[in-house]
């Protein structure tokens, strides 16, 4: 198995205006100094309106943090009122773009086909998609978790070339664990993250699948991150609520030394 660099990303969702975002990143930079964060990728995904301010902050202070966006439009430009393109994000030094988050799928009707268009736009502009997949509670209770996640992966990754697949992060986020305080057990999370890797191997071959980073997301906190990250197929975390606290997010990043 190839060595995969851990990636901890904070998805701020629709929280923090640009001034609050600046303050959060400054505090995060301060708290990160108390922890061992070397050898990991640390990503924050603020709202679109804060991207420019955070880009400036990261560059000016040479912070060990990379910039991510929460969604994107598939087209480079056009009459799509209110949308933001991958080309625009790349110009802001955005490195990661979340696509297919379950909130986008459920609240904004994004199908696998739509997610696929976004993911390909992110690749086209040299950024790394964080592709979210995950089952609902009904689907889990019906024993369909693996099947649903496999279907989301196949649909969202249709037409992705082998060379592009290397630049991909997948986040397994069971919908029932998001914002609920209910985390998947580390065994369940490992089982599904291993299943994700199995589908990636079918699509791209084992060697590439072994290099793709798979995150777990859903109520990740300082107290549970270590056990989750110790699972063989979990290479990182996509953190919602706890990423809004600089102390907690720094503790999550620094989980190895506690």
Give residue number: closest CB to ligand 13P.
240
Q: Report the alpha-carbon angle 139-142-145, nearest 5.
A: 45
Closer by beta carbon to ligand 13P, 9 or else 127: 9
Closest CA to 187 of 255, 135, 234: 234
- In angstroms, give the least distance from the CB of 220 to ligand 13P: 5
Closer by beta carbon to ligand 13P, 21 or else 178: 178
Binding mask 145-184 for ligand 13P (x = CB under 6 A): ----------------------------x----xx-----
- In angstroms, give the least distance from the CB of 81 to ligand 13P: 26
Q: Which of residues 7-66 bind ligand 13P (CB under 6 A)?
A: 11
Q: Cβ–Cβ contacts within 10 Å for residue 103, how many?
A: 20
Where on the phi/psi map is residue 143: left (φ > 0), alpha (ψ -120 to 50), or beta? Answer: left
Size of the site for ligand 13P (CB under 6 A): 14
- In angstroms, give the least distance from the CB of 161 to ligand 13P: 26
83 given a catalytic annotation: no
Is 229 near ligand 13P (CB under 6 A)?
Answer: no
Binding mask 87-106 for ligand 13P (x = CB under 6 A): --------------x-----
Closer by beta carbon to ligand 13P, 43 or else 204: 43
> What's the CA gap between 4 and 214, in Å, rounded?
9
Q: Is the distance from CB of 90 to CB of 127 less than 8 angstroms?
A: yes
Q: 4: which 2 tokens?
A: 């995969």
Full DSSP string of 162-203: HHHHTS-EEEE--GGGTTSS-PPPHHHHHHHHHHHHHHHHHH
- In angstroms, give the least distance from the CB of 225 to ligand 13P: 11
Closest CA to 136 of 147, 123, 122: 147
Per CB under 6 A, the segment of 16-24, 29-37, 47-55, 213-221 that binds ligand 13P is 213-221
Out of 146, 239, 251, 253, the only residue in the binding site for ligand 13P (CB under 6 A) is 239
Judged by DSSP in three states, 154 sits in helix
173 given a catalytic annotation: yes
Q: 31, 101, 123, 125: which is the annotated catalytic residue? A: 101
| Residues present in the chain in total | 258
Instruction: Say how many Å lie between the first and final Cα of the chain, rounded.
Output: 26
Interface residues toward ligand 13P, by CB under 6 A: 11, 101, 173, 178-179, 217-220, 238-242
What positions carry a catalytic annotation? 101, 173
């Amino acid at each position: 198995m190839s060595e995969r660099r851990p990636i901890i990303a904070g998805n701020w969702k629709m929280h923090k205006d640009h001034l609050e975002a600046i303050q959060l990143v400054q505090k995060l930079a301060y708290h990160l100094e108390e922890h061992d964060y070397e050898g990991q990728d640390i990503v924050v995904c603020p709202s679109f309106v804060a991207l420019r301010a955070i880009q400036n902050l990261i560059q000016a202070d040479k912070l060990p943090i990379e910039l991510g966006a929460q969604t994107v439009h598939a087209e480079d430009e056009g009459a799509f009122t209110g949308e933001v393109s991958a080309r625009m994000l790349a110009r802001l030094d955005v490195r990661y773009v979340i696509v297919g988050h379950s909130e986008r799928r459920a609240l904004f009707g994004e199908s696998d086909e739509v997610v696929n268009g976004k993911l390909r736009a992110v690749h086209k502009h040299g950024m790394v998609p964080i592709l979210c997949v995950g089952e609902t509670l009904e689907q889990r209770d019906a024993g369909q978790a693996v099947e649903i996640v496999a279907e989301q992966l196949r649909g969202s990754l249709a037409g992705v070339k082998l060379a592009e697949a290397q630049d991909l992060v997948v986040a397994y986020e069971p919908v029932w664990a998001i914002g609920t305080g209910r985390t998947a057990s580390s065994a369940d999370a490992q089982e599904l993250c291993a299943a994700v890797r199995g589908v990636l191997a079918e699509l791209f071959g084992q060697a590439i699948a072994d290099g793709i980073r798979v995150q777990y997301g859903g109520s990740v906190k300082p107290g549970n991150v270590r056990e989750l990250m110790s699972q063989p197929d979990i290479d990182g975390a996509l953190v919602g609520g706890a990423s809004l606290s600089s102390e907690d997010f720094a503790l999550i990043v620094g989980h190895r030394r506690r």
